[in-house]
Amino acid sequence: GIRHEPTNKIVLDLEKLYDEAGEDLAYVARYARAIQQQRGDYNGRVLSIRADDLRALAIVYDISPSGLIERLTEAGVLVADPRAFFAS
């Protein structure tokens, strides 16, 4: 059957990230733009990113991957459930 457990996928709210997030998340924003470019994925409101890329970004910020997740959550740039995001 269909499972409804929450995914661990890292999904960024691009509008929040690009327009509202502070200078602190400038590297995340730059990285997201680069990924959009590599995928040719320009029209999305959200962007799913690789766990590997989150780990690389965490190194840039000199924190753990879960620490970076926490920071992104506090900044409100993570989408917990993309389907609910589009339903609202």
* CB closer to ligand C2E out of 65 and 82: 82
Distances (CA, A) of 29 to 17, 61, 78: 6, 13, 12
Count of residues engaged in binding ligand C2E, rule: CB under 6 A? 18
Q: Which of 11, 25, 68, 72 is in the footprint of ligand C2E by CB under 6 A?
A: 11
**Which residue of 24, 26, 27, 50 would you call a contact of ligand C2E, by CB under 6 A?**
50
The Cα 87–Cα 83 span in angstroms is: 6
Alpha carbon distance 39, 58 (integer Å): 22
Kindly indicate which of the ranges 21-29, 45-53, 58-66, 69-77 contains the residues binding ligand C2E, using the contact rule CB under 6 A: 45-53
